[in-house]
Chain A
Amino acid sequence: MKLRILKALLKKEITLMQRNPLIPKIIIGMPLMVMLILPLVANLDVKDVNVAVVDNDHSSLSRRITADISASPFLTVIDVPLDHSGAIALVEKGDVDVILTVPPHFSRSLAICSGNASVDIEVNGVNATKGMLGGQYVSQSVLSTIKGWREENGVTEPTQPTGILYLYNPTLNFRNYMIPALMVVLLIIICGFLPALNLVSEKETGTIEAMNVTPVPRLLFVLSKLIPFWIVGMIVVTVGMLVGWIVYSLVPAGSIFLIYLAAILFSLVMSGLGVIIANRSASMLQSIFVMFAFIMVFQLMSGLFTPIGSMPGWARTITYAIPPRYFIEIMRAVYLKGAGFADLWFQFLTLVALAVLTLGLSALTYSKRS
């Protein structure tokens, strides 16, 4: 009896999904856009730092310093102004991020005093990340040029006392950090907000009136809205992983089963939230505004773009209530570190608790009668 009703409802949903011109585009287009474009765009790697070199030394060393900076993939020597004020003018115009000033007699004093010579590096600090990294790149480049020059001249440098080894993401590739987490965006929209919009649209077209006078139990009606999107959500996660593998050669270091488990739990949480919003909204427009507010908070406070650790204490506390936080943590840990359930039980348990909470509330906020 119930199974027959659910079958009829699912058949209707799938027919309507196929007839809706928007749905296939969202299902196919959105994951491709998110997985192909966003990892390239949402990138904190600093490239194309523009450098002006004020060369007051005119020695072979200073020319070599300039040439080495030009050769770096991250740095471009835009101009070689005659004096410092010319370089400042370029910074003010916005053409230059870093000024390197080589003082007169630099190579000579380096050769004589052996280490007491210095160059000036000035950085445009408006874009903090670019300025900081750009300054470091230039200073590294200068140091390595000097080191090479000294070795050629018979001066051996003492070996570096410390070295850094990057674990899990050895190339510090920001993409590898973003790709696992970006799937959260897909699931928020596909499993949370699309079924909610679908439910509200039944209110708007008035079809819910006709449904409400049938013997269809409410639970089945809502399930018939959610099940197709859960399936689509899992397909999209699979496509996302395939794109990560084929396009970015990124495969999960840990268990794929854990990834699907997290995706299913997170989909349940988002579905519950979506249904609550739908129950409380009278029109699509109203629900879209509410969803927009949630998407904003979810994207900015879940640790997707900015690390939770660098948020102020009170904001860090709030992030515990933000479901995508847990999904993102699981995805990054499984993908990059190969973490297992023993490391992530807290995240999984919280997702289960949140799923129970949102689904329970969604059942409570609905009534077939007014």
Chain B
Amino acid sequence: MTPAIEISGVTKRYGSLTALDNVSLSVSRGEMFGLIGPDGAGKSSLYRILATLLSPDSGYARIDGLDSVADYRRLRSIIGYMPEKFSLYPDLTVSENLEFFASLFGVSVDDNFDLIESVFSQLRQFPDRKAGALSGGMKQKLALSCALIHRPRILLLDEPTTGVDAVSRSEFWDILSTLRDKGITIVVSTSYMDEATRCQRIAMIDNGRILDVDTPRRLISRLDENLFNASSSDMFSLLNHLRSMPEVIDCYTFGATLHVVGREDFNPDKAMDFLSHSGLPDVRIYPAKGDIEDLFIKLTRYEEQC
């Protein structure tokens, strides 16, 4: 069976700027796939290529076995795309927007209502409100409903929860889970760390390149080897001292403690001795469990080094 999405060697340049650099990815059917990376990493360009709105300079993207350039007409009824920017008609009401998009695809709202029911349930209370007057979370739910109304097999969501409050975000992800259970492949990008862990696999993208693709758990566990907690009653001096040590790659505050990323030659006991002798009170250094946030920090540090 062909994968839902297959991207191979895709490169896209805007003038001298390389937005995507030889990107290859594969997303299986029914998978919830996350794209994480800083702003300007190339996520939106990748989405636009998958949504048939942009042609790659080289390489190809196949969605459901169809080429994004050659078969764009057929693809448009297979994919559901929700752009980063709210893209419904603000002067049309909730139900007018939904019916409009349904009629463009030649389907009726009633026929496909079962699919959007979970998304649309709250919006049903005010079908005559104009889309522009909805709250951020409601807007995104309506946009998702409109992207789903033609029963797409693949859903492309570009930062769907940016600017949405925490409760609505959590609801939105619950809805995505139910959609995935219905067999829809979902590609979603996010800059919220808690959301990334809800994906089955995530790709870390930066500067137009894919850095790593794996399950969130495995990506994080790879961090653990050289990650340590450090604390002292004089945290600020501790931070400065650790940052000046050659065997420390990175050190940053993490909650109440510091996270230290060491090189292979970093020895926590030796470092503790050294720091105590330097006059720092109550120094403790011990192995830490990494989480997705450490991954993000690693990612942005990587960017700075480039």
* A368-B53 CB under 8 A given contacts A206-B83, A207-B89: yes
Interface contact A205-B90, CB-CB below 8 Å: yes
Bound-state Cα–Cα, A280 to B54, Å = 18
Bound-state Cα–Cα, A215 to B77, Å = 7
Interface contact B100-A369, CB-CB below 8 Å: no
Q: Mark B140-164, 1 if CB is under 8 A from A, else 0.
A: 0000001000000000000000000
Q: Mark A182-216, 1 if CB is under 8 A from B, else 0.
A: 00000000000000000000000111111011111
Nearest CB of A to B68, in Å: 10
A214 is contacted by which of B54, B96, B104 (Cβ under 8 Å)?
A: B104
Which of A15-23, A164-172, A326-334, A339-347 contacts the other chain?
Answer: A15-23
A12 is contacted by which of B55, B73, B86, B100 (Cβ under 8 Å)?
A: B100
Residues of B within 8 A of A210 (CB): 81, 83, 87-88, 101, 146
Interface contact B104-A8, CB-CB below 8 Å: yes
- For chain B, the bracket of interface size reads 20 to 34
Nearest CB of B to A330, in Å: 38
Interface residues in A, total, Cβ within 8 A = 26
* A207-B88 CB under 8 A given contacts A213-B51, A213-B52, A215-B77: yes
Looking at A208, A209, A216, which has the most chain B CB atoms within 10 Å of its CB? A209
Nearest CB of B to A24, in Å: 14
Residues of A within 8 A of B73 (CB): 215
A247 near B: Cβ within 8 Å?
A: no
User: For chain A, what secondary structure do more than half of its interface residues adopt (helix, strand, loop), or is it mixed?
Assistant: helix
B15 near A: Cβ within 8 Å?
A: no
Nearest CB of A to B242, in Å: 46
Residues of A within 8 A of B4 (CB): none
* A215-B100 CB under 8 A given contacts A15-B92, A207-B89: no
B58 near A: Cβ within 8 Å?
A: no
Bound-state Cα–Cα, A11 to B76, Å = 22
Residues of A within 8 A of B105 (CB): 214-215
Residues of B within 8 A of A8 (CB): 100, 103-104
Q: Mark A204-243, 1 if CB is under 8 A from B, else 0.
A: 0111111011111000000000000000000000000000
Known: A12-B92, A215-B77. 12 other contacts (CB 8 A): A4-B103, A4-B106, A8-B100, A205-B87, A206-B86, A210-B81, A213-B51, A213-B76, A214-B104, A214-B105, A215-B73, A369-B53
